[in-house]
Structure 1
């Protein structure tokens, strides 16, 4: 479904999120007390999730949403509350199990949880795709290839996040290596918005899709940039 580099990186991430750090990520995405470093990451993720949800229609009734890299399910739950039929998928089975447990009973019929690859064609087509912080660990070309494959199955919009390549972020990454291993996330791959736009334009017909907006979210050691594509 993806390139060799995509498959190799996906395997590494599966090992990390499903085995090494499943408990850590379940705690991070709860209300449990965490370290100051993780508090900044939690706050940043909360802000980013709210941003991505605000870019979707307020009323999602009848809309089919792919939550690509659903983690413990917070975004999927909010989309379902707004009436969406959500396909929530993640490579980490342990995190998907947490998401299933956290889903309110009255919404479980609106969220279909899967363990596997977001590019699986058996998942079908969608009105909207959201990939929050699930592509930031991949090479820029693999991010563009993944988005291009999702474009073919998406009717209205795709919203992703990427790690913006800036001098400050590079310094922060280097400083982060000094902290205990338990406070480190898997290595991310920064990319500039210009580079990402150029890579995407090479992969779809001019005029078919447009980049409508982008927004940077920064919170301590969390730094991620939202990027929206809409079908023309």
Structure 2
């Protein structure tokens, strides 16, 4: 998939995570002390990572897993510790460099291949499972469905991903955020209604034969995200 919306937003995300927010993101994903707001985000991300991992088999020996939008690589390492061969890819060279640095010497690191690039690239090959944690929260339902449709032909069993669930509070925050100067804000999160997303996924031709299954919402202070699993 290479639609204008996806490509445009991909460029914004690269600029933000590889330049604007590098120091904040490095600290957030470490054990370093953070303020109250960021602490809720850290706790929420930890909980969501655990939830997505719970959707994967406990024994991943012989399986190939894609960590789509791997960030600093925590999920990739956990999957590798279960025996998976993991391809962990992110747009940001800086974050991938940090992921490699943190993985060095860790159990399972030898089963993780870190890559810089687009998570939808066919050159990555085929997988048994794909996980996209908070990689699609900046996209509208049409773009989410098309992105998953582009990935699905190369995944044999399951795709687990997250989206930003619409709530009155998140909807209001999204609207207010648009009032700030573009230079002062992160790429916008797109609040999505669960029913609308499921309907759009069901109508995506490339996802024929896939069904939406379990997941769950994590809400901890300033972090809110919802998981959804697609299975063949």
Assess same fold via TM > 0.5. yes
What corresponds to 1:88 in structure 2?
88
Matches within 5 A, 1:103-182: 103-105=103-105, 106-173=107-174
What corresponds to 2:50 in structure 1?
50
For 1:176 and 1:209, how far apart are their aligned partners in 2?
35
What secondary structure is seen at the aligned counterpart in 1 of 2:118? Answer: coil
Q: Is 1:68 the counterpart of 2:47 in the alignment?
A: no
For 1:191 and 1:28, how far apart are their aligned partners in 2?
25
Contact 1:52–1:226 (CA<8 Å) still a contact in 2? Answer: yes
For 1:213 and 1:168, how far apart are their aligned partners in 2?
24
Matches within 5 A, 1:200-211: 200-204=201-205, 208-211=209-212
- Cα RMSD between the aligned structures? 2.2
Superposed CA deviations along residues 63-89 of structure 1, whole A, max 9, x for unmatched, are: 100000000000001001110100000
Structure 2 residues without counterparts, runs of 5 or longer: none
Superposed CA deviations along residues 4-47 of structure 1, whole A, max 9, x for unmatched, are: 11001000100000011112111100000111111000000000
Shift of 1:185: 4.5
For 1:48 and 1:199, how far apart are their aligned partners in 2?
23
Q: Cα–Cα, structure 1 residues 221 and 174, in superposed 2: closer, same or farther, change >3 Å?
A: farther
Contact 1:172–1:221 (CA<8 Å) still a contact in 2? Answer: no
What secondary structure is seen at the aligned counterpart in 2 of 1:152? Answer: helix
Q: Cα–Cα, structure 1 residues 229 and 3, in superposed 2: closer, same or farther, change >3 Å?
A: same
Q: How many equivalent pairs are there?
A: 230
What secondary structure is seen at the aligned counterpart in 1 of 2:57? Answer: coil
Contact 1:69–1:90 (CA<8 Å) still a contact in 2? Answer: yes
Superposed CA deviations along residues 50-109 of structure 1, whole A, max 9, x for unmatched, are: 000011000111110000000000000100111010000000110000000011425332
